[in-house]
Structure 1
Amino acid sequence: MAAILLGMTTLAGPGQQEAVALGPIEDLGTPVTDYSVLDVEVGTDSLGNPRLYGSTYAIGASPGVVFFGVDPATGTVTTQKSMAGSYGGYHVARRASDGSIFLPTISSDSIGRLWRYDPAADAVSVAAYQQEPAYSFFFGITATSWNSMYVGGYPSGHLNEFTTAGNLVDKGLVSSGSTYPKGIAEVSSSPKTVLVGGGSPAKVTVVNLDTGTRAEVLPSAYAGYSFAYNAYRAGSDILVQLVTPDTKILRYTVGGSTVTFAGELPGLTNAWTLPITGSQVYGQGSCGGSTGLIRYDLVTQTCTFQVAGGQWLGSRMHYVTIGGQQWIASVGAKGMFGRWNPVTGQVVTNQLSLPGHPTAITALAQGPDGKLYGGTYETNALFRYDTTTTVLGKVPGGGGEILSMASANGKLFIGAYTGAAMNVYDPALPWNPGSSAGSNPRFTGAIGSQQGRPWDMTVGSDGRIWTATGAEYGQLSGAITATNTTSPFASQSWRGVFGDHNIFSIASGGGKVFVGTTKHGDGVNATGYEQFGVWDIATQTLQFSAAIDFVSDYFYALCYASNGILYGSTDSGQLFRYDPATNTILSSVSFSYGPVLGMINGPDGKVYGHTGSTIFSIDPVTNTTTVLATTPTSYYRTLAFDANGYLYWANGPRLMRMDVL
């Protein structure tokens, strides 16, 4: 391997010429409109009737997410209020003194907002705004017995107190190196003490609010986890959920203002808050080979399976009394209300009718059937366009967004966040998502070690799918992974090829795989200049690496052109050409139209690309650039052709196309 640092001033880059007359730009609409529900809280309405309160979760602040209330007796929505300008949110909490419901949200102006719903007035409004410019949004929240609300801010990592007088007071940094204060639970009222779980990497910190002292209480054995994602009080215990590389529930016992680690709760996995009766808690998990709602005894440390998992099992469950009987009620991630009677075993469900939110397109690719396929943000939804849009559904692997796709051997390979999940879809077979051999799409598992985001994907000259990934939250060192295109779709992965950098872009040709890195990660950054590298498929070695652009943070896109020349782009606006035959950077220039977000090969042998405001083509023979359209585009590498020669791109949640051939 040759490690070379190259300057930015080299030979002349692509020339530019005026736009050509093409077919009109078509706006094909918004393929996916959706929402999620991440948390609900139990409360009452103005008449004292029980209600479950929460908000929809979506990315994008227009028109804003919706606060809602559900009558657990009927399973219907009784309250629906707009939270204009906000998106998120992650958590909701109730203040006991007046029954107010508080929700922290994200906003497009990067100013965190704490919203309050007043049941007596049936009105929702902003109770407080962030106090420091370093915050971009409010994350976790909890209510305390002294009626103060505590909310965490990202990326500052500070804890805030919302007092009964209506003031927001900055309580300072929770823990050094922790920027996500998400799981917050009360420890004691005298002295006033809370436990804060965050990341990344995972931290569990006990904060004495009277003295300002901090104590780290996460055992060193769990230092490799990305998040202490959630923390809730259950009687005299605090239960903390750790996530990535797997999920564990840790138990801490409370004695005064002191918490003591008491081990894991085996079987529980996705339990955030657990209704408790004596020493028994309820949560999601596995017990006796069955998965769903289980009951766990904190004294005997044994579990009992209760009811099979369903779409109504959400992040939190609450006790509600209906007709003199006690039920456990919840709202699932896709808005399914449900309640279960522990005595009779009866389950009552109802799908809530709540407004959806336009979902940004994060990946586009031509499928093996020649049709256009796309993936979306936060919903992991796959759609297809063929004269009309068909939303196929949520791919089973990952919990966030589809980030990359490629077609090979009659199948569409789909990379999804979280956990660098690989899915394989055969358009010729019925939609049947799962992880078994007969599933379609089939979740074949996570690729790489401790990888989170499958940023880019290509088909190698060896016929395998090659994926560029970034490491999980709090971890460094991305990976390149090759996946077989026949069942069982085994993968081979190389992590740390570029030291502690993540791999952000990838292309292939001539027996090589070309990769571009970024030093940016989730909650942690690497060191040194971004690298461009050449990986030899036959010898499985890195043959060449270079820092081409000394001011860039990302190698946005790579494309191996029809004449064997590689085109690449960086976020600083550099567009470079590399000749693999001579191992030479031919040119590196500042592209006139801004940073190139994505590039693909067209059916006519040209390279097609997009910046944030243009669609263009490059003739690799003459190295001349033609602007095809001046139009907004969005997200990395969201450009694709279908078999009919239409060129598609994304403008936020909207799908656009043009006939360019």
Structure 2
Amino acid sequence: MTGTPSSRWRLLTVALSALMVVIAMAGPAPAAAQEEPEAPQALHPELFTNLGTAVSRNSIYNHALGYDAEGQPLYFQAYKGEPWILLVIDPLTGRTVQHTSDHVGNPYGIHFASNGKLYISTGGSGQDRLYCYDPAVGELEYLGRPTETEDVVWTLAEGDDDTIWGGTYPNSKLISIDPATNEMRDWGRISPTQPYVRFLDAKGPYVYCNCGPSRAEVWAFDTRTGEKTEILPDRLRQYLRYGYVQKRADGEVYLEAGGEKLRLNGLEFEPVDELPPTVPANHQGRPDRQILVMRDGTIITANHQTGQDRRYFIQQPGEEPRAVSFEYEGTKTVLWALEAAPDGLIYGTTRSPITLFSINPTTDEITVLGDPIGANGQVYGWVWHQGKLYMAAYSGGTLTVWDPAKPWQFGSAPESNPRLLGTLDIGRPAALIVAPDGQHLLSGGVPTYGDVGGVITIVDPGTQQIEVVPELLGTQSIASMLSVPESDLVCIGTTWRGGSASEAPKTDPRILLWDFATREMVYEAVPVPGEDGIVQMVMVGDLVYATTDGTGYLVVFDPYEQRVVHSTELGSGPGCLFGLGENPADGMLYAISGDSIVRIDPESYEIELLGTYPGLDWGLGIAGDSIYIYAGSDLIKFSIPPVE
């Protein structure tokens, strides 16, 4: 499977960015109601059958400790889902009260405030949202959107005056909540260039905003005047992706970078010999990095499997650690990819929590297999090789292998299945293929946050050795790849996009031929100027068929004669990740174009619009006269009309 994220949301983000800047310049502003767009209509709805929710598994994104009015401990767990969930748990017994929100979202920020209330911030659904849970009332209250422009409010922190502060993406704004009234305020942009206020803390009159990722910055926002000052010493910038000052156990704010230990006093850093212990901090999607300690010294730990296993771990003073089980009703999980496999089944994955599942196309029966990666994120590249499924995932380029003939037992040991093989030098490994020698695997993709320029990684599955071939593409990244049969050539499709929030220049995507034997580029062409990326490739006969995102084009390329044979618009919108495949049953190609499914004749290049389904997303699992697709968390079965 090859590809890169669809441009639908990215184009929308670009269009909104200019508007965001104008709004930010206008200064603090309250949120405003927004009109709902008119719902798109389906074309040939009789061909689409909604099979319902395929997977219901939730991913814990944050947890926190708090106390009720009587001083009894409360353990809060916040779960990503459709919609997201807050659990209020008795930490010693596991007795749970569930609060299911009215919105889809990822609970990125969580803070139990000095007023005895829990504040939660979410994002990931295109809108920043804030919530408050009051243990005395026992209800989850939706406070609204603090801005008109932002997608995420990240970590939350409390100032000395009890004000709750939060930082945003994609316009690095600072927001606040007055805990006495729950009034929200948008204070405008902090960094003029960076999209994230990823972490923040408050001390005295200052809120310290850690920005990045292409340039690490620390901004001090003066709550008395609204003035902001960039204070990170230039000598330390090279060691950080984001600025990262944080409050520690003594209540002071510190920075550790480049071997230096510094305490922040107002706007100045001063060296110290030792750093005080850290205190629990938000680690979105990684609760294992956040150990919670109750007032009596009891330790609570969780990990990314807590939601699926329905248990966390507790260690009371003087006792051994023990598991505490709890129950909750899961909500829907957003799907991510679908594709037919050599064993006749359709396999799919979900977004966080990553879940591998299969579909029997004869019965439509779904089998949930489990987490094949061992972390939150998404599986970008996957390929079958010698009866095993290899998967490469964001984040961190995690590479695993699963043998369907063996029992499921995830781990890193030789007998584990799926087994963790290592990590690739790729942020989002969009492409994973078998190399021309039939032995190695090749992966390429988009780099990590803030970086530009793609690499190719060469993996020996037997020895788990990984070789990185850097600096092949300039500022561009790899969006798709395939090996050209009976040659040493690898066909590569590129995108101008770099890692998330990077400052990549927009350049025309290219088709490249790379010689696996010599490790050299031997050909390049720009088939469609102005597109964003060549996101998907399949080979039929001697020709490579590819789709692009942006406007959305079909490109036909002859790798043997090294020439572009044909290009034309798909007709209904951009191509996408996992959005192109051949149907052996009728010899046709099928592709996703916007919200539509189109049929492509590989001989005449004629493109036929077959149907449109609002919300159609990435993935085509082709099985005879049917195609499995999805919209959000719903699995859809499309009946292919006969070829005329």
- TM-score band by shorter chain is 0.7 to 0.9
Structure 1 residue 254: Cα displacement: 4.8
Structure 1 residue 222: Cα displacement: 5.9
Q: 2:312 matched to which residue of 1?
A: 337
Q: 1:327 matched to which residue of 2?
A: 298
Structure 1 residue 82: Cα displacement: 2.9
Return closer, same or farther for 1:506/1:173 CA change in 2, 3 Å cut-off.
same
- Matches of residues 254-653 of structure 1 in structure 2 within 5 Å? 254-255=264-265, 258-260=268-270, 273=280, 314-321=288-295, 325-333=296-304, 334-335=306-307, 336-341=311-316, 343-386=317-360, 387=363, 388-396=365-373, 398-448=375-425, 451-463=426-438, 464-484=440-460, 486-510=461-485, 511=487, 512-520=489-497, 521-527=499-505, 528-597=507-576, 598-604=579-585, 605-631=587-613, 634-636=616-618, 638-641=619-622, 647-653=627-633
Structure 1 residue 380: Cα displacement: 1.9
Return closer, same or farther for 1:455/1:317 CA change in 2, 3 Å cut-off.
same
Query: In the alignment, which of 194, 204, 209 is matched to residue 223 of structure 2?
Result: 209
| Equivalent pair of 1:396/1:435 in contact (CA under 8 Å) | no
| Equivalent pair of 2:61/2:286 in contact (CA under 8 Å) | no
SS of 1:90 mapped into structure 2:
strand
1:455-498 per-residue CA deviation (whole Å, 9 max, x = no partner) reads 133334332333231100011112233333x4124333333322
Using the alignment, how far apart are the partners of 2:194 and 2:140 within structure 1? 31
Letter in 2 for 1:329: I
Return closer, same or farther for 1:26/1:43 CA change in 2, 3 Å cut-off.
same
Using the alignment, how far apart are the partners of 2:341 and 2:255 within structure 1? 42
Structure 1 residue 523: Cα displacement: 0.9
Using the alignment, how far apart are the partners of 1:312 and 1:172 within structure 2? 29
Letter in 1 for 2:324: N
Gaps of 5+ in 1: 1-20, 243-247, 276-282, 284-310
Using the alignment, how far apart are the partners of 1:216 and 1:549 within structure 2? 45
Using the alignment, how far apart are the partners of 1:574 and 1:241 within structure 2? 49
Return closer, same or farther for 1:630/1:256 CA change in 2, 3 Å cut-off.
closer
Using the alignment, how far apart are the partners of 1:426 and 1:452 within structure 2? 25
SS of 1:469 mapped into structure 2:
strand
Q: 2:636 matched to which residue of 1?
A: 656
Return closer, same or farther for 1:392/1:32 CA change in 2, 3 Å cut-off.
same
The total of aligned residue pairs comes to: 580
1:611-635 per-residue CA deviation (whole Å, 9 max, x = no partner) reads 2433333232233345555445744
Structure 1 residue 395: Cα displacement: 2.0
| Equivalent pair of 2:173/2:188 in contact (CA under 8 Å) | yes
Using the alignment, how far apart are the partners of 1:249 and 1:184 within structure 2? 22
Using the alignment, how far apart are the partners of 1:105 and 1:154 within structure 2? 11
Return closer, same or farther for 1:469/1:81 CA change in 2, 3 Å cut-off.
same
1:623-650 per-residue CA deviation (whole Å, 9 max, x = no partner) reads 33455554457444x12346x7754333
Q: 2:153 matched to which residue of 1?
A: 138
| Equivalent pair of 1:22/1:628 in contact (CA under 8 Å) | no
Identity rate, percent:
23
Structure 1 residue 251: Cα displacement: 5.8
| Equivalent pair of 1:397/1:423 in contact (CA under 8 Å) | no
Structure 1 residue 454: Cα displacement: 1.0
Structure 1 residue 176: Cα displacement: 4.1
Using the alignment, how far apart are the partners of 1:326 and 1:179 within structure 2? 38
Return closer, same or farther for 1:171/1:241 CA change in 2, 3 Å cut-off.
farther
Using the alignment, how far apart are the partners of 1:647 and 1:460 within structure 2? 28
Using the alignment, how far apart are the partners of 2:281 and 2:591 within structure 1? 50
Return closer, same or farther for 1:128/1:553 CA change in 2, 3 Å cut-off.
same
Using the alignment, how far apart are the partners of 1:23 and 1:149 within structure 2? 51
**TM-score normalized with structure 2 length:** 0.80
Gaps of 5+ in 2: 1-43
| Equivalent pair of 1:232/1:240 in contact (CA under 8 Å) | no
Structure 1 residue 344: Cα displacement: 1.1
SS of 1:568 mapped into structure 2:
strand
Matched, 1:81 2:103: no
Q: 1:253 matched to which residue of 2?
A: 263
Structure 1 residue 216: Cα displacement: 3.2
Letter in 1 for 2:153: F
Return closer, same or farther for 1:255/1:564 CA change in 2, 3 Å cut-off.
closer
Q: CA RMSD in A?
A: 3.5
1:354-413 per-residue CA deviation (whole Å, 9 max, x = no partner) reads 332322222233445343222111212211223532222112355311122111112111
Query: In the alignment, which of 158, 166, 173 is matched to residue 173 of structure 2?
Result: 158
Return closer, same or farther for 1:224/1:39 CA change in 2, 3 Å cut-off.
same
Query: In the alignment, which of 63, 71, 76 is matched to residue 40 of structure 1?
Result: 63
Using the alignment, how far apart are the partners of 2:378 and 2:613 within structure 1? 24
Q: Greater strand percent: which structure?
A: 1
Q: 1:294 matched to which residue of 2?
A: none
- Matches of residues 46-195 of structure 1 in structure 2 within 5 Å? 46-58=69-81, 62=82, 64-78=83-97, 80-96=98-114, 98-106=115-123, 108=125, 110-131=126-147, 133-163=148-178, 164-187=180-203, 189=204, 192-195=205-208
Using the alignment, how far apart are the partners of 1:399 and 1:347 within structure 2? 25
Return closer, same or farther for 1:239/1:380 CA change in 2, 3 Å cut-off.
farther
**TM-score normalized with structure 1 length:** 0.78
Using the alignment, how far apart are the partners of 1:416 and 1:312 within structure 2? 16
Using the alignment, how far apart are the partners of 2:107 and 2:230 within structure 1? 28
Using the alignment, how far apart are the partners of 1:556 and 1:263 within structure 2? 51
SS of 2:522 mapped into structure 1:
strand
